[in-house]
Amino acid sequence: MRAVGGVYTYVLNSGLPKILLDLVFLRASQINGCAYCIDSHSRDLQEEGVPVEKIMLLQAWREAGDFFSTKEKAALQWAEEVTRVSETHASDEAFAAVSAEFQPKEVSDLTIAIGLINLFNRLAISLRRPPGS
């Protein structure tokens, strides 16, 4: 687990905004149905000053109008594509969108972050980690 913690520290120090990371973490957790992570990242976003309306609209970010920036939308689309990679194969369209908004290192770091939250989701679900614990 120490190695996983090291990757998490790397992601937090990558230069990607913490709010963006938490939006991506929350969206992947919603897709995976990880109650522990949904609870944790929703609370983190509230503590970071993100309006409750934005957090509530995350699941429908495509229809949420101006609640999400173009950069956030590209990151969320990429998070969905990578989280559902067996279905989407991380489409060229999504890769082009995220690459238009982020530098190559940022795309790499964002992809690492998405892979990491998917690992955390699987651990929390499999090990029966309840929300708030």
* Alpha carbon distance 5, 15 (integer Å): 17
Identity at 39, one-letter amino acid code: D
* pLDDT tier for residue 130 given thresholds of 50, 70 and 90: very high
**Which residues form the domain of 115?**
2-126
Q: What is the pLDDT of residues 29-85, one digit of tens each?
A: 999 999 999 999 999 999 999 999 999 999 999 999 999 999 999 999 999 999 999
Q: Is residue 131 part of a domain?
A: no
Per-residue confidence (pLDDT) for residue 2, from 0 to 100: 82
The residue count of the chain comes to 133
Q: Is residue 132 part of a domain?
A: no
What's the token pair of residue 91?
Answer: 């489409």
> Any idea what the CATH number is for the domain that residue 101 is in?
1.20.1290.10
Per-residue confidence (pLDDT) for residue 18, from 0 to 100: 98
Round the average pLDDT of the chain to a whole number and report it: 97
Q: 50 φ, ψ to 5°?
A: -75, 130
Q: What is the pLDDT of residues 33-47, one digit of tens each?
A: 999 999 999 999 999
- Domain tally, the chain: 1
Q: Is residue 30 part of a domain?
A: yes
Q: What is the pLDDT of residues 98-126, one digit of tens each?
A: 999 999 999 999 999 999 999 999 999 99
Q: Is residue 133 part of a domain?
A: no
